[in-house]
Amino acid sequence: MVVLGAGPAGLTLGNLLQRSGIDCVVLERAERAHLVTRARAGFLAAHTVRILERHGLAEGLLRYGQAHSACEFRTEDGRFRLEYGGLGLGERHTVYPQQLLVGDLLTRFLAVGGRVEFGTEAVAVLDADTGRPSVAVREADGRPGRWQARYVAGCDGRHGAARRSLPAGAVRRYDCDHGVSWLGLLAEAPPSLDAVGYAVHERGFAGHMARTSEITRYYVQCERGTPADAWSEERIWEELELRMRAKEYGPLRRGPFVQRSVVDLESDVLEPLRHGALFLAGDAAALISPSAAKGANLAVLEAEMLARALTDDLLHGDPTGLDTYSARCLPYIWRAQEFSHWMIGLLHRPARPGADGSSPFHDALRRSRLASLRTSRSRQDWFAEHYVGV
Ligand code: APR
């Protein structure tokens, strides 16, 4: 079995296969040091934690992760807090930086005899529609190579080789550009709120998400095409404080920004998640905007489903799980997409305003959406169920 990509999807899959006795190699373009330091997401849904726990992969996150169960909205109509841990299904997030999770998954995988080829870039998946697929690679020393396998799992993200290798017409892509961009920042500063903060402001969205006691993630909506280094640190803090209404609700705890990047909010879903012997999971299967932090959670869910299906096929000769893999995953993916899309509409002014640059009708709808979330218990239960769930 060849797995492309050592992110949450590829490493969860690798661990589950290896422990079932299925020989498995993970091909990863990056070096190990890069993987375990690359800051990404950090909010793990209760269901994700249960999956990882079930397979003995949750030790680090249970020890060091922080339970998280509240978010605060700051809007032109005041602020309100949702203690979502006590709403809906009563579930919480565990905040655990993704690079630590990847580090844990990697350590476990190597400990159970798994093999990772770092610095090895998959170039193309070949002959996926035959019984003998292979992966053409560029080895760490730059030479071309080839890996043969019964099945290939494409867990190499949105720009990976798995997607690129799909022949035209084999898979349909549903995509959406939300027309919104965020400047994503990692600040070396303690969190300023004990909740996820979502600020809706006429200047644009701003977000606050704790990572650890010393590191906080911030997002500031910016114009499409803004270079990541366009704003000075001072300007960013001023924008954050303005949009988060720090004068009314308290100052932000500042610190240097140790990482910044611009994210264009885009989503897509491929259907089906299979082409012959090539299966897609994680970002390679569906790209989800970070508005509701679903990406890593879907990746783990799909990896577990794919691992079970591969085990049934390879160890017990039962292909049913592989045949139904795509159809079983897609409802979860679409549900997460629908919620993330709804969140984007909740948190931003319309991306495609009218000719005069405004869209009062849509703006009023957004305020009404926030008001019903503030006042309607059934709306809050619905929010909590979808916010933490996958
Ligand atoms: N060959 C080998 N490895 C590759 C290639 C390639 N051609 N292209 C990409 N990769 C590797 C990347 O270096 C990365 O380590 O594939 C891995 C993909 O990992 P992620 O991007 O983390 O994707 P995934 O495992 O699907 O996790 C889903 O978590 O934080 C979120 O935004 C993130 O939603 C994403 C997620």
Catalytic residue among 294, 341, 348, 386: 294
Catalytic residue among 84, 219, 325, 387: 387
If you measure from the C-alpha of residue 42 to the centroid of ligand 1, how many angstroms do you get, rounded to a whole number?
15
d(CA 284, CA 4): 10
User: For residue 68, what are its two tokens?
Assistant: 């998280």
Distance of CA 308 to the CA centre of its chain: 22
Section 210-231 average pLDDT: 94
Backbone angles phi, psi at 123, to 5 degrees: -100, -40
- CB of residue 40 inside a 6 A radius of ligand 1: yes
pLDDT tens track for 310-328: 999 999 999 999 999 999 9
> Is CATH 3.50.50.60 the right assignment for the domain spanning 2-68+87-175+266-342?
yes
In terms of Cβ atoms closer than 10 Å to its own Cβ (0-12, 13-18, 19+), residue 98 is: buried
Q: Which atom of ligand 1 is nearest to the CA of 298?
A: 28
What is the pLDDT, as a whole number, of residue 317?
98
Strand partners, 246: none
d(CA 105, CA 52): 10
d(CA 344, CA 350): 9
CA distances to 10, 80, 82, 192, 375 from 70, in Å = 30, 11, 6, 14, 16
What is the pLDDT, as a whole number, of residue 354?
56
- Which residues have CB under 8 Å from 364's CB, separation 6+? none
Is there a contact between 83 and 89 (Cβ–Cβ < 8 Å)?
A: no
For the sheet with 93-95, list strands across it.
43-44, 93-95, 66-68
As a three-state string, the secondary structure of the chain is CEEECCCHHHHHHHHHHHHCCCCCEEECCCCHHHHCCCCCCCEECHHHHHHHHHCCCCHHHHHHCEEECCEEEEECCEEEEECHHHCCCCCCEEECCHHHHHHHHHHHHHHCCCEEECCCEEEEEECCCCCCCEEEEECCCCCEEEEECCCEEECCCCCCHHHHCCCCCCCEEEEEEEEEEEEEEEECCCCCCCCEEEECCCCCCEEEEECCCCCEEEEEEECCCCCCCCCCHHHHHHHHHHHCCHHHHCCCCCCCEEEEEEEEEEEEEEECCEECCEEECHHHCEECCHHHCCHHHHHHHHHHHHHHHHHHHHHHCCCHHHHHHHHHHHHHHHHHHHHHHHHHHHHCCCCCCCCCCCCHHHHHHHHHHHHHHHHCHHHHHHHHHHHHCC
Q: Whose CA is nearest to atom 30 of ligand 1?
A: 41
Catalytic residue among 218, 290, 325, 332: 290
User: Among 3, 15, 25, 29, which is best to mutate for testing ligand 1, by the most ligand atoms less than 8 A from CB?
Assistant: 29
Q: Which residue has the tokens 């954050």?
A: 240
If you measure from the C-alpha of residue 172 to the centroid of ligand 1, how many angstroms do you get, rounded to a whole number?
21
Q: How confident is the model at residue 360 (pLDDT cuts 50, 70, 90)?
A: confident
User: Which class is domain 179-265+359-388?
Assistant: alpha beta
Q: Which atom of ligand 1 is nearest to the CA of 120?
A: 2
Strand partners, 186: 217, 259
Section 231-252 average pLDDT: 97
If you measure from the C-alpha of residue 282 to the centroid of ligand 1, how many angstroms do you get, rounded to a whole number?
8
Q: Above 60 in pLDDT, residue 242? A: yes
- CB of residue 6 inside a 6 A radius of ligand 1: yes
User: For residue 311, what are its two tokens?
Assistant: 């085990």
Q: Whose CA is nearest to atom 22 of ligand 1?
A: 7
**Catalytic residue flag (residue 387):** yes
Q: Above 90 in pLDDT, residue 216? A: yes
Catalytic residue among 84, 198, 219, 325: 198
Section 356-377 average pLDDT: 88
Is there a contact between 155 and 13 (Cβ–Cβ < 8 Å)?
A: yes
Amino acid (1-letter code) at residue 345: G
d(CA 164, CA 44): 29
**Catalytic residue flag (residue 331):** no
d(CA 181, CA 244): 18
If you measure from the C-alpha of residue 69 to the centroid of ligand 1, how many angstroms do you get, rounded to a whole number?
27
**Catalytic residue flag (residue 68):** yes
Catalytic residue among 8, 68, 84, 275: 68
Tell me the pLDDT of the chain averaged across its residues. 94
User: Among 12, 28, 96, 116, which is best to mutate for testing ligand 1, by the most ligand atoms less than 8 A from CB?
Assistant: 28
d(CA 349, CA 237): 21
pLDDT tens track for 268-281: 999 999 999 999 99
1-10, 32-41, 142-151, 250-259: which range is least confident on average? 32-41
User: For residue 360, what are its two tokens?
Assistant: 């009062």
- CB of residue 4 inside a 6 A radius of ligand 1: yes
All structural domains of the chain with their residue ranges: 2-68+87-175+266-342, 179-265+359-388
pTM attached to this predicted model: 0.95
Q: How confident is the model at residue 9 (pLDDT cuts 50, 70, 90)?
A: very high
- CB of residue 26 inside a 6 A radius of ligand 1: no
- CB of residue 299 inside a 6 A radius of ligand 1: yes
Section 342-361 average pLDDT: 76
Q: Which atom of ligand 1 is nearest to the CA of 5?
A: 16
What is the pLDDT, as a whole number, of residue 39?
82
Section 338-359 average pLDDT: 78
- Which residues have CB under 8 Å from 87's CB, separation 6+? 380, 381, 383, 384, 385
If you measure from the C-alpha of residue 302 to the centroid of ligand 1, how many angstroms do you get, rounded to a whole number?
14
CA distances to 51, 102, 347, 374 from 339, in Å = 22, 26, 12, 17
If you measure from the C-alpha of residue 284 to the centroid of ligand 1, how many angstroms do you get, rounded to a whole number?
8
pLDDT tens track for 57-79: 999 999 999 999 999 999 999 99
Section 197-207 average pLDDT: 95
Q: Which residue has the tokens 């085990």?
A: 311
**Catalytic residue flag (residue 294):** yes
